[in-house]
């Protein structure tokens, strides 16, 4: 009987063949920020076009993929939805930061500490050589909850300017913001298109212990340690 790991490896190998034949460029984008800021909901919104019915704290990492077309080129965006809680991410850190092409920093506009902690996330990225040389964007999430918003736009904009990143304020929850979430990730896709990498699809997955969880519109692999 085939094990879950065996099935995943076979599926990855198969997709590697397809990628090779189609010469589709694959980009790894990590999404990081404090626990509960909405990383899972944002990536889910982008990949599936909807807000998830329920979410739980991410353990390790969730992978979501979306194929997009940018100026006649088909690209595959591989989103790494990382765990915000320290205890769920510790052993994964080296995996997160390997072969990364772009970074999305997320904070919650209703939680000052998630904004203050961005310096920690940026510094961790810098330690792993993910500085201003690669596309990085800042996303303030939960804008639908205006009554509880505490991080002023101009403060966030100043911070983004100081770190040479564009700022986007949005909501994963608000259906009317769905196009905006899409536009945010497409901005990144355009930036990535003008860069050169062709990521080896299996390079940092072989050592991971994964269980598989397919959704209708995206390939979603969960990795738990
Ligand atoms: N009001 C509002 N709530 C949101 C939004 N996005 C996410 N949430 C809620 O915020 C909570 C956390 O969302 P997640 O996407 O699981 O957060 P996360 O950053 O992935 O958390 P970790 O996996 O622990 O790192 C959930 O209760 C979501 O329903 C949003 O845009 N607006």
What lies within 8 Å, CB to CB, of 87 at 6+ separation is: none
Residue 141, beta-bridge partner list: 108
Q: What pLDDT sits at residue 19?
A: 54
Res 123 pLDDT > 60: yes
C-alpha 160: how far from chain center? 18
User: Which is higher by pLDDT, 132 or 125?
Assistant: 125
Res 138 pLDDT > 80: yes
State the average pLDDT for the chain: 82
Whole-structure pTM over 0.90, yes or no?
no
The binding-site residues of ligand 1, defined as CB within 6 angstroms of any ligand atom, are 35-41, 55, 57-58, 83-85, 141-142, 144-145, 171-173
Q: Place 20 in a pLDDT band, splitting at 50, 70 and 90.
A: low
- Ligand 1 atom, smallest distance to 170 CA: 31
**Cα separations (Å) of 111 from 23, 146, 158, 175?**
42, 12, 18, 22
Q: What pLDDT sits at residue 143?
A: 97
Which residue has the CA at smallest separation from atom 12 of ligand 1?
Answer: 36
Please give the domain boundaries of the chain with CATH numbers for all domains.
4-202 (3.40.50.300)
Instruction: Tell me the C-alpha distance between 116 and 122, whole Å.
Output: 11
Q: Residues 168, 138: contact at Cβ < 8 Å?
A: yes
Q: What pLDDT sits at residue 198?
A: 52
Q: What is the mean pLDDT of residues 149-160?
A: 98
User: What tens digit of pLDDT does each residue of 45-54 get?
Assistant: 999 999 999 9
Among 34-38, 39-43, 89-93, name the one with the lowest average pLDDT: 89-93
Q: Hey, what are 100's tokens?
A: 């990364």
**Cα separations (Å) of 25 from 67, 99, 102, 156, 166?**
10, 13, 14, 32, 24
Q: What pLDDT sits at residue 10?
A: 44
Pick from 33, 34, 40 the residue to mutate for probing ligand 1's pocket: most ligand atoms within 8 Å of its CB.
40
What distance in angstroms lies between residue 219's CA and the mean position of ligand 1's atoms?
20
- Ligand 1 atom, smallest distance to 141 CA: 31
What distance in angstroms lies between residue 36's CA and the mean position of ligand 1's atoms?
5
Q: What is the mean pLDDT of residues 201-205?
A: 40
User: Which is higher by pLDDT, 171 or 87?
Assistant: 171
**Cα separations (Å) of 222 from 64, 75, 133, 147, 206?**
9, 22, 29, 34, 14
Q: Place 196 in a pLDDT band, splitting at 50, 70 and 90.
A: low
User: What tens digit of pLDDT does each residue of 52-64 get?
Assistant: 999 999 998 899 9
Q: How many CB atoms lie within 10 A of CB 213?
A: 11
User: What tens digit of pLDDT does each residue of 65-122 get?
Assistant: 999 999 989 999 999 999 999 888 888 888 889 999 999 999 999 999 999 999 999 9
């Amino acid at each position: 009987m085939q094990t879950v790991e065996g099935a995943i490896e076979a599926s990855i190998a198969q997709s590697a063949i397809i990628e090779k034949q189609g010469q589709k460029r694959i980009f790894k984008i990590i999404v990081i920020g404090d626990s509960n800021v909405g990383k899972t909901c944002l990536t889910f919104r982008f990949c599936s076009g909807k807000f998830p019915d329920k979410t739980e704290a991410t353990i390790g990492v969730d992978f979501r993929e979306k194929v997009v077309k940018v100026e006649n080129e088909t690209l595959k965006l591989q989103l790494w939805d990382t765990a915000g809680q320290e205890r769920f991410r510790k052993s994964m850190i080296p995996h997160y930061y390997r072969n990364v092409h772009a970074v999305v920093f997320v904070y919650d506009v209703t939680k000052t500490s998630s904004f203050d902690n961005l310096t920690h996330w940026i510094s961790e990225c810098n330690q792993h050589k993910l500085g201003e040389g690669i596309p990085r964007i800042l996303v303030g999430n939960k804008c639908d909850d205006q009554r509880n918003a505490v991080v002023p736009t101009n403060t966030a904009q100043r911070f983004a300017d100081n770190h040479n990143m564009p700022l986007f304020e949005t909501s994963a929850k608000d259906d009317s913001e769905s196009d905006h979430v899409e536009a945010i990730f497409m901005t990144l896709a355009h930036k990535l298109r003008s860069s050169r990498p062709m990521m080896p699809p299996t390079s940092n997955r072989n050592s991971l212990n994964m269980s598989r969880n397919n959704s209708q519109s995206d390939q979603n692999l969960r990795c738990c340690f």
